[in-house]
Amino acid sequence: MSWVYLLVAIGLEVAATTCMKLSEGLTKPVPSVMMFVLYIISFSSLSLALKQLEVGTAYAIWSGLGTAAIAVIGVYLFKESFSAQKVIAILLIIAGCVMLNLNSDSHQSSGPAKQSVDHLSGSGESR
């Protein structure tokens, strides 16, 4: 379920960033309000995903795929520049996200960092 929350967070972040562009510097009320609402829900969904996913991996995927999606939306919706360099950069972002995910042990962590967090939050066993 954490991956679903992450995907929802990415989609909402992309929608919020699109609304930011449509708000024309926060001068248009509807896209401006939508931007704030969508960012709040996106961050909430991301925080739910972080209950089980590693923060570095989740954040890299969230920001990387969001950046790639916004770049594509910029080209198609806002008629921004399109070049081979931009395509390569987007592909590198996506490749980096995939590599982080393949290297991630995001389902369960039981190392010292997890034990320290459990100890600080009071959810670990007493020693």
Per-residue pLDDT tens over the stretch 39-80: 999 999 999 999 999 998 898 899 889 999 999 999 999 999
Q: φ and ψ at 2, to 5 degrees?
A: -65, -35
- Structural domain count of the chain: 1
Instruction: Compute, in degrees rounded to 10, the torsion defined by CA atoms 69, 70, 72, 77.
Output: 130
Q: Give the pLDDT confidence score for residue 104 in this predicted structure.
A: 63
Count CB atoms within 10 A of the CB of residue 67: 18
The domain in which residue 89 lies consists of 2-121
Q: Which residues contact 87 (CB under 8 A, 6 or more apart)?
A: none
Is 126 a domain residue?
A: no
Q: Which residue has the higher pLDDT, 68 or 23?
A: 23
Q: Is there a domain that residue 9 lies in?
A: yes
pTM of the model: 0.76
Q: Single out the residue of 36, 52, 46 nearest to residue 108, CA to CA.
A: 52
Residue 127 in any domain: the answer is no
Place 105 in a pLDDT band, splitting at 50, 70 and 90. Answer: low
Supply 54's token pair: 């590693």
